[in-house]
Protein backbone atom coordinates (compact mmCIF):
# COMPACT_ATOMS: atom_id res chain seq x y z
CA UNK A 1 0.00 0.00 0.00
CA UNK A 2 2.77 2.47 0.92
CA UNK A 3 4.79 1.98 -2.27
CA UNK A 4 1.67 1.94 -4.44
CA UNK A 5 0.55 5.19 -2.83
CA UNK A 6 3.92 6.82 -3.56
CA UNK A 7 3.81 5.54 -7.15
CA UNK A 8 0.23 6.71 -7.78
CA UNK A 9 0.95 10.07 -6.13
CA UNK A 10 3.84 10.46 -8.57
CA UNK A 11 1.42 9.81 -11.45
CA UNK A 12 -0.90 12.51 -10.08
CA UNK A 13 2.06 14.90 -9.77
CA UNK A 14 3.18 14.13 -13.34
CA UNK A 15 -0.24 14.88 -14.82
CA UNK A 16 -0.80 18.06 -12.79
CA UNK A 17 2.70 19.37 -13.60
CA UNK A 18 2.52 18.43 -17.28
CA UNK A 19 -0.70 20.42 -17.72
CA UNK A 20 0.36 23.30 -15.46
CA UNK A 21 -2.22 22.79 -12.69
CA UNK A 22 -1.40 23.62 -9.06
CA UNK A 23 -0.97 20.15 -7.59
CA UNK A 24 -0.77 21.42 -3.98
CA UNK A 25 -4.33 22.77 -4.11
CA UNK A 26 -5.80 19.27 -4.42
CA UNK A 27 -3.21 17.14 -2.63
CA UNK A 28 -5.44 16.01 0.26
CA UNK A 29 -8.34 15.11 -1.99
CA UNK A 30 -5.90 13.28 -4.28
CA UNK A 31 -4.41 11.34 -1.35
CA UNK A 32 -7.88 10.29 -0.19
CA UNK A 33 -8.80 8.97 -3.66
CA UNK A 34 -5.37 7.37 -4.15
CA UNK A 35 -5.56 5.49 -0.83
CA UNK A 36 -9.06 4.20 -1.62
CA UNK A 37 -7.97 3.24 -5.13
CA UNK A 38 -4.90 1.38 -3.88
CA UNK A 39 -7.02 -0.54 -1.37
CA UNK A 40 -9.51 -1.62 -4.05
CA UNK A 41 -6.62 -2.39 -6.43
CA UNK A 42 -5.08 -4.67 -3.81
CA UNK A 43 -8.41 -6.48 -3.43
CA UNK A 44 -8.89 -6.74 -7.20
CA UNK A 45 -5.43 -8.24 -7.66
CA UNK A 46 -5.39 -10.57 -4.68
CA UNK A 47 -9.02 -11.53 -4.13
CA UNK A 48 -10.28 -11.64 -7.72
CA UNK A 49 -7.05 -12.19 -9.64
CA UNK A 50 -8.03 -9.27 -11.90
CA UNK A 51 -4.68 -7.49 -12.05
CA UNK A 52 -5.27 -6.66 -15.73
CA UNK A 53 -8.37 -4.62 -14.80
CA UNK A 54 -6.66 -2.51 -12.10
CA UNK A 55 -4.89 -0.05 -14.50
CA UNK A 56 -8.14 0.59 -16.39
CA UNK A 57 -9.98 1.27 -13.12
CA UNK A 58 -7.19 3.68 -12.07
CA UNK A 59 -7.47 5.56 -15.38
CA UNK A 60 -11.26 5.88 -15.03
CA UNK A 61 -10.96 7.07 -11.42
CA UNK A 62 -8.33 9.67 -12.36
CA UNK A 63 -10.50 10.95 -15.23
CA UNK A 64 -13.43 11.40 -12.84
CA UNK A 65 -11.17 12.93 -10.17
CA UNK A 66 -9.67 15.53 -12.52
CA UNK A 67 -13.11 16.43 -13.86
CA UNK A 68 -14.98 16.55 -10.53
CA UNK A 69 -12.34 17.89 -8.14
CA UNK A 70 -9.70 19.73 -10.20
CA UNK A 71 -12.47 20.95 -12.57
CA UNK A 72 -10.64 20.10 -15.76
CA UNK A 73 -12.98 19.88 -18.74
CA UNK A 74 -13.93 16.25 -19.35
CA UNK A 75 -12.08 16.16 -22.68
CA UNK A 76 -8.89 17.52 -21.08
CA UNK A 77 -9.13 15.12 -18.12
CA UNK A 78 -9.30 12.18 -20.54
CA UNK A 79 -6.34 13.50 -22.58
CA UNK A 80 -4.33 14.38 -19.47
CA UNK A 81 -4.93 11.06 -17.71
CA UNK A 82 -4.17 8.84 -20.70
CA UNK A 83 -1.12 10.83 -21.86
CA UNK A 84 0.18 11.06 -18.28
CA UNK A 85 -0.28 7.33 -17.78
CA UNK A 86 1.57 6.58 -21.04
CA UNK A 87 4.47 8.89 -20.12
CA UNK A 88 4.63 7.31 -16.66
CA UNK A 89 4.69 3.82 -18.22
CA UNK A 90 7.48 4.85 -20.61
CA UNK A 91 9.57 6.20 -17.72
CA UNK A 92 9.03 3.01 -15.75
CA UNK A 93 9.92 0.87 -18.78
CA UNK A 94 13.16 2.79 -19.31
CA UNK A 95 14.08 2.29 -15.65
CA UNK A 96 13.32 -1.44 -15.95
CA UNK A 97 15.59 -1.74 -18.99
CA UNK A 98 18.42 0.33 -17.48
CA UNK A 99 18.37 -1.20 -14.00
CA UNK A 100 17.06 -4.74 -14.47
CA UNK A 101 17.63 -5.44 -18.16
CA UNK A 102 14.10 -6.81 -18.67
CA UNK A 103 10.80 -7.29 -16.85
CA UNK A 104 11.57 -10.98 -16.32
CA UNK A 105 14.57 -9.99 -14.16
CA UNK A 106 12.33 -8.27 -11.60
CA UNK A 107 12.07 -11.14 -9.16
CA UNK A 108 10.97 -10.71 -5.57
CA UNK A 109 8.85 -8.12 -3.84
CA UNK A 110 11.86 -5.96 -2.96
CA UNK A 111 12.73 -5.31 -6.60
CA UNK A 112 9.12 -4.33 -7.29
CA UNK A 113 9.17 -1.82 -4.43
CA UNK A 114 12.52 -0.48 -5.62
CA UNK A 115 11.10 0.02 -9.13
CA UNK A 116 8.10 1.90 -7.75
CA UNK A 117 10.35 4.18 -5.67
CA UNK A 118 12.77 4.78 -8.55
CA UNK A 119 9.94 5.68 -10.91
CA UNK A 120 8.39 8.07 -8.38
CA UNK A 121 11.77 9.71 -7.69
CA UNK A 122 12.47 10.26 -11.39
CA UNK A 123 8.98 11.70 -11.95
CA UNK A 124 9.21 14.09 -8.99
CA UNK A 125 12.67 15.34 -10.02
CA UNK A 126 12.07 15.66 -13.78
CA UNK A 127 8.56 17.11 -13.66
CA UNK A 128 9.29 19.27 -10.62
CA UNK A 129 12.16 20.86 -12.57
CA UNK A 130 10.09 21.33 -15.75
CA UNK A 131 7.20 22.83 -13.74
CA UNK A 132 9.50 25.36 -12.07
CA UNK A 133 10.87 26.28 -15.50
CA UNK A 134 7.35 26.96 -16.76
CA UNK A 135 7.25 23.98 -19.12
CA UNK A 136 4.06 22.12 -19.86
CA UNK A 137 0.75 22.39 -21.70
CA UNK A 138 -1.86 25.06 -21.11
CA UNK A 139 -5.32 25.32 -22.65
CA UNK A 140 -8.23 27.72 -22.72
CA UNK A 141 -10.35 25.61 -20.40
CA UNK A 142 -13.66 27.31 -21.24
CA UNK A 143 -13.26 26.42 -24.92
CA UNK A 144 -12.81 22.74 -24.01
CA UNK A 145 -15.98 22.60 -21.92
CA UNK A 146 -19.27 21.59 -23.48
CA UNK A 147 -22.86 21.94 -22.35
CA UNK A 148 -24.24 19.34 -19.93
CA UNK A 149 -20.70 18.27 -19.00
CA UNK A 150 -21.54 18.11 -15.28
CA UNK A 151 -24.59 15.95 -15.99
CA UNK A 152 -22.48 13.64 -18.16
CA UNK A 153 -19.89 13.38 -15.38
CA UNK A 154 -22.55 12.44 -12.83
CA UNK A 155 -23.97 9.81 -15.20
CA UNK A 156 -20.43 8.48 -15.80
CA UNK A 157 -19.78 8.17 -12.06
CA UNK A 158 -23.14 6.44 -11.48
CA UNK A 159 -22.60 4.03 -14.38
CA UNK A 160 -19.07 3.29 -13.17
CA UNK A 161 -20.05 2.52 -9.60
CA UNK A 162 -23.08 0.45 -10.61
CA UNK A 163 -21.08 -1.59 -13.10
CA UNK A 164 -18.22 -2.21 -10.69
CA UNK A 165 -20.57 -2.92 -7.78
CA UNK A 166 -22.52 -5.53 -9.76
CA UNK A 167 -19.26 -7.20 -10.80
CA UNK A 168 -17.93 -7.26 -7.24
CA UNK A 169 -21.29 -8.33 -5.77
CA UNK A 170 -21.35 -11.45 -7.91
CA UNK A 171 -17.78 -12.17 -6.85
CA UNK A 172 -18.75 -11.55 -3.21
CA UNK A 173 -16.18 -8.80 -2.70
CA UNK A 174 -18.50 -6.51 -0.73
CA UNK A 175 -15.65 -4.52 0.85
CA UNK A 176 -14.41 -3.49 -2.58
CA UNK A 177 -17.94 -2.49 -3.61
CA UNK A 178 -18.16 -0.34 -0.47
CA UNK A 179 -14.84 1.35 -1.34
CA UNK A 180 -16.14 2.22 -4.81
CA UNK A 181 -19.34 3.61 -3.30
CA UNK A 182 -17.39 5.86 -0.91
CA UNK A 183 -15.10 7.04 -3.71
CA UNK A 184 -18.01 7.75 -6.04
CA UNK A 185 -19.90 9.63 -3.32
CA UNK A 186 -16.77 11.73 -2.75
CA UNK A 187 -16.46 12.56 -6.48
CA UNK A 188 -20.17 13.29 -6.82
CA UNK A 189 -20.01 15.60 -3.81
CA UNK A 190 -17.25 17.65 -5.44
CA UNK A 191 -19.00 17.60 -8.78
CA UNK A 192 -22.27 18.97 -7.41
CA UNK A 193 -20.54 21.40 -5.02
CA UNK A 194 -18.45 22.91 -7.79
CA UNK A 195 -21.50 23.12 -10.04
CA UNK A 196 -23.30 25.19 -7.35
CA UNK A 197 -20.24 27.42 -6.92
CA UNK A 198 -20.05 28.03 -10.67
CA UNK A 199 -23.78 28.84 -10.92
What's the chain's average pLDDT?
75
- Predicted TM-score (pTM) of the model is 0.74
Which residues neighbour 15 within 8 Å (Cβ) at sequence distance 6 or greater? 62, 66, 80, 81, 84
Q: What pLDDT, in 10s, does the model give residues 97-121?
A: 888 777 777 777 787 888 889 999 9
Position with higher pLDDT, 20 vs 169:
20
Q: What integer pLDDT is reported at residue 125 of this predicted model?
A: 92
Residue 186 has pLDDT above 80, yes or no: no
Q: What integer pLDDT is reported at residue 199 of this predicted model?
A: 46
What is the domain partition of the chain in residue ranges? 2-198
Q: What pLDDT, in 10s, does the model give residues 16-69?
A: 988 888 888 989 988 888 888 887 777 666 666 666 677 777 888 888 888 888
C-alpha span between 124 and 103 (Å, rounded): 23
Amino acid sequence: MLFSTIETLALYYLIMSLYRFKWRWYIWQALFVILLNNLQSYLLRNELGMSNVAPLVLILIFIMFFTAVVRMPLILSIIATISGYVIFAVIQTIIVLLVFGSISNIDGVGNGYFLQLMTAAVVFVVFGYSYRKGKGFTFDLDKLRFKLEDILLSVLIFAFVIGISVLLYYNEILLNALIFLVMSAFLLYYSTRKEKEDA
